[in-house]
């Protein structure tokens, strides 16, 4: 289905944009068919392996009329992508 392929391509692009300092931002990418993920998790400051398995499962399990929400749960994700305090974002 075209929508699922597009969502998976977006996940791939988001994963490539995220910095790899600790990997936490990549690991904080979430998917849902219920609501947009919230920015609620603080960076633990240690390396975190990214596992997109749950994201792909949500995308593949989405029904024909479902909305697929993709977002980060890392509380600093908006600053990385949009910039803040004179720093340019990645997005």
Query: Taking a C-beta distance cutoff of 8 angstroms, is the pair 68, 7 a contact?
Result: yes
User: What CA–CA distances, in Å, run from 11 to 41, 44, 75, 84?
Assistant: 19, 23, 18, 24
> Pick from 40, 38, 51, 43: which is nearest to 22 by CA?
43
> Pick from 8, 5, 28: which is nearest to 18 by CA?
28
pLDDT at 22: 81
pTM across the whole model: 0.81
If the chain, 91 residues long, is cut into consecutive pieces of 10 residues, what is the mean pLDDT of each piece? Answer: 92 83 88 94 86 94 95 88 80 63
């Amino acid at each position: 289905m075209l929508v699922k392929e597009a969502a998976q391509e977006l996940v791939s692009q988001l994963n490539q944009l995220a910095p790899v300092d600790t990997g936490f931002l990549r690991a904080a990418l979430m998917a849902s068919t219920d609501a947009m993920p919230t920015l609620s998790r603080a960076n633990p400051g240690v390396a975190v392996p990214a596992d997109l398995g749950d994201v792909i499962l949500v995308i593949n399990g989405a029904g024909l009329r479902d909305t697929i929400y993709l977002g980060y749960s890392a509380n600093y994700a908006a600053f990385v992508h949009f910039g803040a305090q004179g720093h340019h974002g990645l997005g």
